[in-house]
């Protein structure tokens, strides 16, 4: 995605952004513009989104708030659906970084070349070769960074028999590229096999492949072969299918009747200890009011794999203040991939949001009661709260950021 130097106006998206940026780079006037690629992976690496998260642009020297970048992207996708996104490349980090820094337009070309080839590579082409053009600037950069020519670099590597240099093109054995796929493909097959053993997907007979990697014929072939009893569907532009559905869902959520919960959600609570309690003694404490309470009790609201209908209300639980003067009840909301999480600190479990029920009138003290129902299946997690004193009902959205 390309954003103008004002840091707000979206110039272009996908291929067009790539082209425009490449043009700007050729004229050496790209440095004031903001070019973002693969921001999804960047977010993943940074481990989450906050309201103030900044994203670095492609140059790594400047950035914009993630909110600006996402707003631009979603607007674009909504108004004017799309062509292309995510690109990938691999290579020696030192050389590639220097190449990118000084020759952005060649970098984009090389990238595109690699990407087009990658989509084309299938096991049927085993034994064949693919050609990649080698930009002159890359040849020079290799020399500057490593002190060796490309030819010397290739001859000195384990690939000397399988990569040849012809003028400004390199010919690579397709099998080298196929091999690069082997590990990720095997992990995917194993993961899907595990998923298919779960009770929530019993009877499932269709696999829909989405995401950029689904466009790879190698992955498609292996999935079809491995799950030969099932029908495998690969939508057009599989790489953008998730993004497109998310945008459709965001704008007309009623189109999705039901979905499968991705996580187990719960809130953390506490209650007064009673003789019948089976909660662990290690999590029992006497508080400042002299009450013995059990802490860290998980009130599970939805389980991973469970089917949730649009705007379906969950069962009601009753919550009350712990002390008489309390003017709000706060909940920390957690999510985990584990259907039966036992600690908030266990792997794969994280606090995802916060919810607060205000208590404007504290005259009922600890006797105040609220009925709480979680509502899943919408675009956000909402909670319906019923004040048991005056029967008033209001909704609160969970604050995720
Ligand atoms: Zn207890």
**CATH of residue 332:** 2.60.34
Q: How far is the CA of 386 from the centre of ligand 1 (A)?
A: 24
Q: Token pair of 246, please? A: 């998310």
Q: How far is the CA of 26 from the centre of ligand 1 (A)?
A: 68
87, part of any domain: no
Q: How far is the CA of 101 from the centre of ligand 1 (A)?
A: 60
Q: How far is the CA of 206 from the centre of ligand 1 (A)?
A: 44
Are 245 and 273 found together in one domain?
no
- What is the tally of structural domains in the chain? 3
Local confidence band at 227 (pLDDT 50, 70, 90 cut-offs): very high
Local confidence band at 5 (pLDDT 50, 70, 90 cut-offs): very high
Mean pLDDT of the chain: 82
Are 322 and 266 found together in one domain?
yes
Q: Compute the distance between CA of residue 384 and CA of residue 394 in angstroms, rounded to an integer.
A: 6
- Identify the residue with better confidence: 122 or 90: 122
Q: How far is the CA of 287 from the centre of ligand 1 (A)?
A: 14
- Identify the residue with better confidence: 14 or 375: 375
Q: How far is the CA of 270 from the centre of ligand 1 (A)?
A: 8
pLDDT given at position 261: 84
Local confidence band at 84 (pLDDT 50, 70, 90 cut-offs): very low
- Residue corresponding to tokens 């595109």: 112
| Domain end (from 217, 234, 252) | 252
Sign of CA dihedral 118, 120, 126, 129: negative
374: β partners: 383
pLDDT given at position 221: 92
Q: How far is the CA of 331 from the centre of ligand 1 (A)?
A: 18
Q: How far is the CA of 345 from the centre of ligand 1 (A)?
A: 20
170, part of any domain: no
Q: How far is the CA of 6 from the centre of ligand 1 (A)?
A: 57
Q: How far is the CA of 333 from the centre of ligand 1 (A)?
A: 19
35, part of any domain: yes
| Percent above pLDDT 90 for the chain | 15
Q: How far is the CA of 318 from the centre of ligand 1 (A)?
A: 15
Q: How far is the CA of 346 from the centre of ligand 1 (A)?
A: 21
| Domain end (from 32, 58, 79) | 79
Are 240 and 343 found together in one domain?
no
- Identify the residue with better confidence: 225 or 160: 225
Q: Token pair of 138, please? A: 């890359």
Q: How far is the CA of 56 from the centre of ligand 1 (A)?
A: 47
Q: How far is the CA of 273 from the centre of ligand 1 (A)?
A: 5
Whether the Cβ atoms of residue 310 and residue 378 lie closer than 8 Å to each other: yes
Local confidence band at 83 (pLDDT 50, 70, 90 cut-offs): very low
Q: How far is the CA of 390 from the centre of ligand 1 (A)?
A: 29
97, part of any domain: no
Q: What is the pLDDT of residues 31-52, one digit of tens each?
A: 889 998 876 666 656 656 667 7
Sign of CA dihedral 257, 263, 269, 274: positive
pLDDT given at position 17: 86
| Domain end (from 252, 272, 296) | 252
Mean pLDDT within 76-97: 56
Model confidence at 224: pLDDT above 90: yes
Q: What is the pLDDT of residues 228-279, one digit of tens each?
A: 999 999 988 887 887 787 787 777 777 777 778 888 998 888 888 888 888 8
Model confidence at 176: pLDDT above 70: yes
Are 296 and 361 found together in one domain?
yes
Q: Compute the distance between CA of residue 117 and CA of residue 177 in angstroms, rounded to an integer.
A: 10
pLDDT given at position 86: 37
Are 210 and 339 found together in one domain?
no
Are 216 and 264 found together in one domain?
no
90, part of any domain: no
94, part of any domain: no
Local confidence band at 90 (pLDDT 50, 70, 90 cut-offs): very low
Model confidence at 203: pLDDT above 80: yes
Mean pLDDT within 344-370: 86
331, part of any domain: yes
Mean pLDDT within 66-95: 63
pLDDT given at position 211: 80
Are 384 and 316 found together in one domain?
yes
Are 269 and 383 found together in one domain?
yes
Cβ contacts of 375 within 8 Å, gap of 6 or more: 311, 312, 313, 314, 381, 382, 383, 384, 395
Are 207 and 279 found together in one domain?
no
Q: How far is the CA of 272 from the centre of ligand 1 (A)?
A: 7
pLDDT given at position 105: 78
- Identify the residue with better confidence: 397 or 229: 229
Mean pLDDT within 161-172: 85
Model confidence at 112: pLDDT above 70: yes
Q: How far is the CA of 286 from the centre of ligand 1 (A)?
A: 13
Are 189 and 72 found together in one domain?
no
Residues counted in the chain: 401
- Identify the residue with better confidence: 218 or 282: 218
Q: How far is the CA of 271 from the centre of ligand 1 (A)?
A: 6
Least confident of 49-53, 297-301, 310-314, 357-361: 49-53
20, part of any domain: yes
Local confidence band at 393 (pLDDT 50, 70, 90 cut-offs): very high
pTM, two decimals, is 0.51
Q: How far is the CA of 292 from the centre of ligand 1 (A)?
A: 9
Q: How far is the CA of 319 from the centre of ligand 1 (A)?
A: 14
pLDDT given at position 231: 93
**Closest by alpha carbon to 376, among 265, 247, 299?**
265
Mean pLDDT within 7-27: 84
Give the CA-trace dihedral at 225, 227, 232, 234, to 10 degrees: -70
Are 273 and 245 found together in one domain?
no
Q: How far is the CA of 353 from the centre of ligand 1 (A)?
A: 24
Domain that residue 295 falls in: 259-397
- Identify the residue with better confidence: 291 or 102: 291
Q: How far is the CA of 278 from the centre of ligand 1 (A)?
A: 6
Q: How far is the CA of 291 from the centre of ligand 1 (A)?
A: 12
Q: How far is the CA of 277 from the centre of ligand 1 (A)?
A: 4
Are 197 and 246 found together in one domain?
yes
pLDDT given at position 280: 78
């Amino acid at each position: 995605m390309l954003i103008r130097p004002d840091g707000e106006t979206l110039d272009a998206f996908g291929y067009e952004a790539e082209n425009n940026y490449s043009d700007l780079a050729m004229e050496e006037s790209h440095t004031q513009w903001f070019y973002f690629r693969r921001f999804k992976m960047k977010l993943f690496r940074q481990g989450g989104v906050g309201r103030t998260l900044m994203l670095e642009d492609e140059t790594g020297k400047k950035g914009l708030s993630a909110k600006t970048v996402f707003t631009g992207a979603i607007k674009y996708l909504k108004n004017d659906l799309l062509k292309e996104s995510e690109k990938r490349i691999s290579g020696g980090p030192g050389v590639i970084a220097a190449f990118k820094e000084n020759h952005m337009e060649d970098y984009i070309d090389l990238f595109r070349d690699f990407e087009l080839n990658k989509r084309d590579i299938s096991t049927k082409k085993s034994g064949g070769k693919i050609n990649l053009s080698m930009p002159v600037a890359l040849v020079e950069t290799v020399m500057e960074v490593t002190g060796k020519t490309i030819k010397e670099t290739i001859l000195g590597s384990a690939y000397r028999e399988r990569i040849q240099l012809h003028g400004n093109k390199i010919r690579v054995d397709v099998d080298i590229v196929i091999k690069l796929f082997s590990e990720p493909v095997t992990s995917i097959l194993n993961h899907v096999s595990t998923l298919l053993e779960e009770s929530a997907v019993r009877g499932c007979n269709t696999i829909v492949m989405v995401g950029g990697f689904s466009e790879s014929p190698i992955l498609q072939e292996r999935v079809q072969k491995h799950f030969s009893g099932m029908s495998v569907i690969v939508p057009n532009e599989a790489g953008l299918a998730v993004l497109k559905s998310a945008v459709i869902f965001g704008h007309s959520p009623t189109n999705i009747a039901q979905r499968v919960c991705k996580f187990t959600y719960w809130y953390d609570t506490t209650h007064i200890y009673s003789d019948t309690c089976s909660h662990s003694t290690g999590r029992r404490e006497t508080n400042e009011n002299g009450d013995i309470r059990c802490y860290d009790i998980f009130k599970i609201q939805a389980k991973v794999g469970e089917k949730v209908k649009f705007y379906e209300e969950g069962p009601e639980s009753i919550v009350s203040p712990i002390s008489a003067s309390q003017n709000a009840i706060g909940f920390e909301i957690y999510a985990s991939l584990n259907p039966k999480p036992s600690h908030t600190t266990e792997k794969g479990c994280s606090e995802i949001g916060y919810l607060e029920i205000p208590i404007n009138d504290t005259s009922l003290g600890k006797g105040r009661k609220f009925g709480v129902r979680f509502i899943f299946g919408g675009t956000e997690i909402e909670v319906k709260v019923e004040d048991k004193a005056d029967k008033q009902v209001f909704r609160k959205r969970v604050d995720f950021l």
